Amino acid sequence: MSIKILNDEKKWFLETKNTAYVIGVDESKNLQHLYWGEKFPYISDYPRALLQQEFPFDNFEQIIKEEFSPL
């Protein structure tokens, strides 16, 4: 397993022979799950951490993407 870090994009990659898990930090400094699945050939193929569009009736838990629901 390899661990790669892109400091300029604030992303961390955990890769095995066939799979990858990517987490990142968005512009508001929220940690986000970005990807889990088949390993891509290039680091640039994985998604970026982006702020989700906000609406007045959304609460914080609905704005950022999470792997799980907070308690």
For 1-71, strand residue ranges (E) read 2-6, 11-15, 19-25, 31-38
For the chain, domain boundaries = 2-48
- φ, ψ of residue 45 to 5 degrees: the values are -75, -20
What is the structure's pLDDT at 12? 95
Q: Which two tokens stand for residue 71?
A: 């308690």
What is the structure's pLDDT at 52? 61
pLDDT in tens, 47-65: 887 766 555 555 655 555 5
Q: How far apart are CA 55 and CA 62, in angstroms?
A: 10
pLDDT in tens, 4-16: 998 988 999 999 9
- pTM over the 0.75 mark: no
pLDDT higher than threshold 90 for residue 30: no
